[in-house]
Amino acid sequence: MTSRWWFYPALVVLVLPLLPILLLVFASIVTYPTLPSLETLTDYRPKMPLRVFSAEGTLIGEFGEERRELVKIEDVPEMMKKAILAAEDDRFYEHGGVDYIGVLRAAYSNFTSGGVRQGASTITMQVARNFFLSKEKTLSRKFNEMLLSFKIEHNLTKDEILQLYVNHIYLGQRSYGFASAAQIYFAKSLNQLSLAEMAMLAGLPKAPATFNPVVNPERAKVRQMYVLRRMHDLGYITNQQFEQAENEPIVTKQSNHRQEFAVHAGYVAEMVRQEMYDRYQEDAYTQGFSVYTTIRVKDQAAAYAAVRKGVMDYDHRHGYRGPEGYVDLKKNNTDELLDEALEDVPDSDDIIPAVVLSINPKGIRVHCKGGQVVEIRGEGLRFAQQTLGTKLALNHRIRVGSLIRVYKNENDFWEITQLPQIESAFVSANPRDGAIYALVGGFDFYNNQFNHVTQAWRQPGSSFKPFIYSAALEKGFTPASIINDAPLVIDLSQTGEELWQPKNYEGGFDGPMSMRQGLIRSKNLVSIRILQAIGVGYAQDYVTKFGFDKDKIKPFLTMALGAGSVTPMQLLGGYSVFANGGYRVLPYFIQRIEDGQGKVVAQAAPVVAGEGAERVIDVRNAFTMVNMMQDVVKHGTAMRAMELGRQDLAGKTGTTSDSMDAWFAGFHPTLVAITWIGYDNPQSLGEKETGGGAALPIWMSYMGKMLKDVPEIEYTVPDHIVTARINDKGLRDPNGSRTEYFYEENLPAEQGEAPPEGAKPAETNDQLF
């Protein structure tokens, strides 16, 4: 026994150096079974935002805390993968989850630099940390991270791990994953990125806020160059590629606190968001629903441009109101300080806030939000000069430090402009099934979220008259019926308010005229006499067939002039009845809803005119009204629309009392569209502002683009409609001046024919003659 006294000390000497390793093995054996299950990775279901698409599949809206776009690893460009590996883990395909060589290299680098300059986390370790662990810097968390990395590497392929990383990593601006970041920073898909842009994105995981190319372009450039040098050192790119990427200017999608999409459809996207929240509550924002709308990209773009131009044209007709404010250039004397001063001033698409830097006899020099400095001269000053008068006055009103608005026009030169105070709405649809093709709820969704298409209850003015005329056709009136355009005094019992002496827009009276002429010329007294004849109660009930709310259309004679309340969406449905031959269709904007796995969970099933939709007016009524409204376009208050060079357009202008609201509601057999313009707090648009002058040009701009290559369509005359020559008294006359359409049972008497026994002589008929 004594001869072996050395055995135990020797055993201690041998085992002691191995103790840490043994303890580590023991800890691993104990800890490994308690590690989280990898189901989160193998059945990867991240919080996916609600995404809204056009009918063609173009993204037009997105909602959710995390903005993501999942991609398969095989769809990631090879150069994008190399940029990521160069920046984060160039030995990714060689190590088993922990890169010991990388650890030694990082330790050496940090020791020689005197600080922590390099980390040793592999991509696998980052996946483990981002999915399962906190970011606290403790020994136990790092130990668990390494064990998890081994577990991940044992259960997933390298490509599966890289795919998780590419889709899950946070890259700033609420973007998760490189596909989402490519859209947010550069408005591009991954396969559209240049090498320089890929390197910029690959540098973001280390510190997304610090290297954000929108907020910190200088620091982002430094990080980008690090990635490019690593790619060059690793042999991923050539000298020429390196130099080209180094010198390529990076143009980011500037942050203006709004998310940009292929088309401006903010109001539509918000309608979808509200509908989805009503259906799915908070799950709407996290389960990856995709909503495909009926909106067509070309229609939406045309409608948006038409509304913007129409509103700006109106605004310019009423003069420049002067600067919005002033910025003290003594305190804001650098580009950075000027940018800060402009940061909270909202822009509006191409209408940009700017500060005047200098004024000289030739023009002004301004600093625009975003940093660009531009000169405005000549034509660019005209709008402001028209209101402000002489150059001296211009200098007095617009001075150095003035906060103004500028934009670059279609001729590529800068102009002074201003944000309009007026609002507008536009909506179009297929009249056969109600599918909405374009919807613009206001001038700028980001500055005013009130949706004037669906939420604005306004008086429709004369655009409501066709519904009264349609009711009259069912009471025996014809387009040839003669009604007297003469003064009326109407008492309280018939108006619901006070003694009323209605007038025509132009002020005068033209005596007896046909119902057709009354509509063409939008004669108020003609409409009122028609309503007197058919009865306000009957008319109130009748117009509900078109989708109007009975309680919003009061049973008084003022109804004849559109004194009730409607929304543009309701007017869209109402005019669709005329355009489709008499059927009630409901406007809709969601085609289908898909869940996060692409399964269709809801599908629109609209009723179609002639195929299940309810017929609400006689086809003869619809045809007659369309025919009369065609004449409104050809010869009446909407004659300006003939500039489109088409014979198949129909519609009606609308201008309310004191020009508070201006409308145009019109259609083609395949497309119906409604335009409104007015102030949110109702006030006069101006003495000469009418539906034909303010609203119709918006409608024309849209229709001109949408119908450019569409052949003209001739409306089919339905059965039991007959034609006859009539004279100026509305009687059948072979030598009459014009041909008119009639229901076959409502043919007027022939000239010289004795009236039926007991009939009231025409000359004394106060209501109709």
Q: To 10 degrees, what angle do helices 195-202 and 239-247 make?
A: 80
* Three-state DSSP class for residue 138: coil
Residue in 117, 121, 118, 125 with CA at minimum distance from that of residue 144: 125
Q: What is the DSSP letter of 657?
A: G
Query: How far, in Å, CA of 623 to CA of 421, rounded?
Result: 40
Distance between CA atoms of residues 282 and 276, nearest Å: 9
Q: Give me the amino acid identity at 739.
A: T
Q: Would residue 336 show up in a list of annotated catalytic residues for this protein? A: no
- Tell me which amino acid residue 613 is: A
Q: How many residues in total does the chain contain?
A: 769
**For helices 619-635 and 465-473, what crossing angle results, to 10°?**
140
8 A C-beta contact, residue 567 and residue 441: no
Among 388, 366, 390, 387, CA closest to 376:
366
Catalytic residue among 290, 462, 463, 470: 462
- From CA 79, how far away is CA 94, in angstroms rounded? 19
Tell whether the torsion through CA atoms of 243, 246, 247 and 250 is positive or negative: positive
Directed axis angle between helix 19-31 and helix 139-155, to 10°?
60
User: 764: which DSSP letter?
Assistant: G
Annotated catalytic residue 358: no
By C-alpha distance, which of 38, 75, 95 is closest to 178?
A: 75
Largest alpha-carbon pair distance within the chain? Answer: 152
Residue 354 in contact with residue 406, Cβ under 8 Å? yes
Extract the tokens encoding 5.
Answer: 């006294």
Going by the DSSP 8-state scheme, the letter that residue 157 receives in this structure is -
CA 217 to CA 224: how far, in whole Å? 10
Rounded distance between C-alpha atoms, residue 431 and residue 586, angstroms: 9
Q: How far is 477 from 628, CA to CA, in rounded Å?
A: 13
DSSP notation for 398-454: S-TTEEEEEEE-TTS-EEEE---S-EEEEEEE-TTT-BEEEEE-SS-TTT----TTT
Looking at 88, 145, 594, 689, which residue is catalytic? 88
How open is the CA angle 147-152-154, to the nearest 5 degrees?
95
Q: What share of residues in the chain are helix, strand, coil (percent, to 5)?
A: 45, 15, 40
Which residues are part of the catalytic machinery? 88, 462
